[in-house]
Chains A and B, each alone.
Chain A
């Protein structure tokens, strides 16, 4: 069964450089947790800290409530799946999977039974006596998962293990990983720079910018209610409009921009006079049926690309503000010609205002 993992004020310094700074997060037992961030943001460092390849410069890491400082990776109740898998190329599939069992001195007969169970679990029948180099990418992936699960870890650490696979296999393995996690109840900590991966698989996602944990929340909240400008711009696509706050109305604010004034959510409770940025997802921009309602923009169509189930329309206002609209194809979408002038709107519920410049934009 899984155990919980706590990172308390964890910082990791290499010389002058902080690879991670003041990280605080409590990952629940049996949770599928992802760290999502651009490459070089320090997420692999976090994983290596949890696995015990190094100890943090400052702060504490607790697994199952126990402080892990000074406890080596060979003793911690964790197992890691490496980005390049790090399978043992001179061993057969069975020997790879059984390595951790052999290390623990499990009797041969018991080892064999356990390895067979794992081969079953990851759907690798009939490959036991093959060398790992003879396997396909997806099969190698499964061997790596089985090898890590063999030692009954409480926490499984996955360092972008799907990045080398082709698209189809990747989405298949995503579902597979999620399944295995549910069946085993092991805590999964997953590292990725691929937002689809993080959003589809995880119970919760921690979004990281350089060395910093920006927001920890469920995928829905991360996508719909990003708390910082970094999260809003890193996860999903957004239309970005800059302006000044004129007035506040409860949870909403009125922002004056060069293309007009707009109402939007004000989650950071900013005050009038502050400069801020509105984020609007392309799929929440619609054609305006009532031209005099709030949050309407008059635009000319610059480009239209039809993708089948939806169409992406690139628009620009008279003032040069770019806007992207994603129209779902429900069969009734009116045909829009390039160069045509149209009116679009967005709901104040779907537009959120965030402070400028509190972190770098990806």
Chain B
């Protein structure tokens, strides 16, 4: 620790160290810690009329959390959100692993640049607009249905937006980059000679991936999965725009609570969601045997 401070002081000087401490500290305290604590505090208090706030009834209670655990519908939506986010994560992983491998170890020169550009360009457009585009594609008389009818594959339009399919599809599309880049980054650092060596020793490509590439890419896979899962579980735009009116997402329940002015209940639900994400992250770390330090690399 002492070494750490000495090196920092030598490399950055007193002003530099102070600048970093103040800016990062302020960001941590004001942007993350205090808002989260306020929300947590909200979640532990009952909803009261304005004049009773701060009065004798305004005490800490677990009532809001009990509401959640006793509401079977909300619990069901909560588990559906976990389940669907897992599907989004796994689908994104299945799509992104080959892309990342191709980018990092197969493609050369300008091909890499073009592919990268192709991946990034959609992200120049606002997420909402991209979701609207999907809405247009998947609508009852949308492009996809018209194409399928034109090709004679179907006679009547399919309602793609029934259930969760459209939401999962839209999210997978929206978060692909967050999966590709962490995996690409670690794969990039894999020595090509290791692939050649394994091949030379007689290994099939499947085994090379299972034994050499995937183990090397583990930290990237863990980061990609964590990010995609959190984004999928935490977004409100995708279910709002692509989900069917009958199929609710947990973030929408939270949103409704805030809109109905029951901030306390909303805060409790949001805390539950946050806990879920933290737990998921630790499960990923454990599953991939990756340390917190590696995760940040």
Contact = CB atoms under 8 A, between A and B. Distances in A.
At the interface, is chain B mostly helix, strand, loop or mixed?
helix
A79 interface: yes
A147 interface: yes
Contact of A75 (B194, B196, B202): B202
Interface in B188-213: 191, 193-194, 196-204, 207, 211-212
Interface in A285-306: none
B63 interface: no
Contacts of A78: 200
B193 A99 contact: no
B215 interface: yes
A151 B198 CA distance: 12
A40 B99 CA distance: 33
A74 B216 contact: no
B279 to A, nearest CB: 27
A270 B162 CA distance: 91
Nearest to A83: B193
A90 B200 contact: no
A226 interface: no
A103 B197 CA distance: 12
Contacts of A73: 196, 199-200
Interface in A79-108: 79-80, 82-84, 86-88, 90, 99-100, 103-104
Contact of B197 (A82, A90, A104): A82
A224 B194 CA distance: 40
Contact of B198 (A72, A84, A99, A148): A99
B202 A86 contact: no
Given A86-B191, A90-B215, A104 B202 contact: yes
B201 A88 contact: no
A90 B202 contact: no
A310 interface: no
Interface string B207-233: 100011001100000000000000000
B207 A80 contact: no
A73 B200 CA distance: 5
A80 B198 CA distance: 10
At the interface, is chain A mostly helix, strand, loop or mixed?
loop
B202 A103 contact: yes
B203 A74 contact: yes
A53 B204 contact: no
A324 interface: no
Interface residues of A, number: 25
A187 interface: no
Given A86-B194, A86-B196, A100 B215 contact: no
Contacts of A100: 201-203
A88 B202 contact: no
A75 B193 CA distance: 17
A84 B191 contact: yes
A11 B200 CA distance: 22
A99 B207 CA distance: 11
Contact of A103 (B191, B201, B215, B216): B201
A84 B202 CA distance: 19
Interface string B159-202: 00000000000000000000000000000000101101111111
A82 B203 CA distance: 16
Nearest to A144: B197
A51 to B, nearest CB: 6
Interface string A118-153: 000000000000000000000000000001101100
B181 to A, nearest CB: 22
Contacts of A72: 199
A78 B197 CA distance: 11
A104 B201 CA distance: 9
Contacts of A104: 202
Contact of B196 (A82, A103, A147): A82
A90 B216 CA distance: 8
Given A53-B196, A82-B193, A86-B196, A147 B201 contact: yes
A99 B200 contact: no
Residue among B198, B201, B202, B203 with max Cβ neighbours from chain A (10 Å) = B201
Contacts of A82: 193, 196-197
A25 B204 CA distance: 31
Interface string A44-74: 0000000111000000000000000000111
Given A86-B191, A90-B215, A99 B203 contact: yes
B196 A88 contact: no
17 contacts: A53-B196, A74-B200, A74-B202, A78-B200, A79-B200, A80-B197, A80-B200, A82-B197, A86-B191, A86-B193, A86-B196, A90-B215, A90-B216, A99-B198, A100-B203, A103-B204, A103-B207
Given A53-B200, A78-B200, 12 more contacts: A53-B196, A73-B199, A73-B200, A74-B203, A86-B191, A86-B194, A88-B194, A88-B198, A90-B215, A99-B198, A100-B201, A103-B202
Interface of A: 51-53, 72-75, 78-80, 82-84, 86-88, 90, 99-100, 103-104, 147-148, 150-151
Interface of B: 191, 193-194, 196-204, 207, 211-212, 215-216
